[in-house]
Amino acid sequence: MLRVACPPLRERREDTAELVRHFVSEEIDVGAWPTIVDEVLERVEAETRAWSWPGNVRELRAVTNRVLAGQPALLPGGVGGQGRPLGDQRAALLGHFGVRSLEEVKHLYSEAVLEQVEGNKSEAARVLGIDRNTLFRYLKAAAKSRASTPGAADDTMGAE
Q: What digits encode the pLDDT tens for the residues 37-65?
A: 677 777 777 777 767 766 678 878 887 77
Is there a contact between 83 and 75 (Cβ–Cβ < 8 Å)? yes
Is there a contact between 13 and 49 (Cβ–Cβ < 8 Å)? yes
Residues 139 and 78 in one domain: no
Residues 80 and 118 in one domain: no
- The whole-angstrom separation of Cα 118 and Cα 69 is 12
Residues 37 and 106 in one domain: no
pLDDT in tens, 73-115: 544 444 334 444 444 445 555 555 566 677 777 887 788 888 8
Residues 21 and 74 in one domain: yes
Given a cut of 80, whether residue 72 has pLDDT beyond it is no
Q: Provide the total of helices (H) and of strands (E) in the chain, helices listed first.
A: 7, 0
Residue 113: closest CA among 127, 131, 133: 127
pLDDT the model gives residue 22:
87
Q: DSSP string spanning 78-129?
A: -TT-----HHHHHHHHHHHH-S--HHHHHHHHHHHHHHHTTT-HHHHHHHHT
Q: Which residues contact 146 (CB under 8 A, 6 or more apart)?
A: 152, 153, 155
Stretch 18-34: mean pLDDT, rounded? 76
Residues 41 and 109 in one domain: no
Range of the domain at 131: 100-151
What CATH number does the domain containing 83 carry? 1.10.8
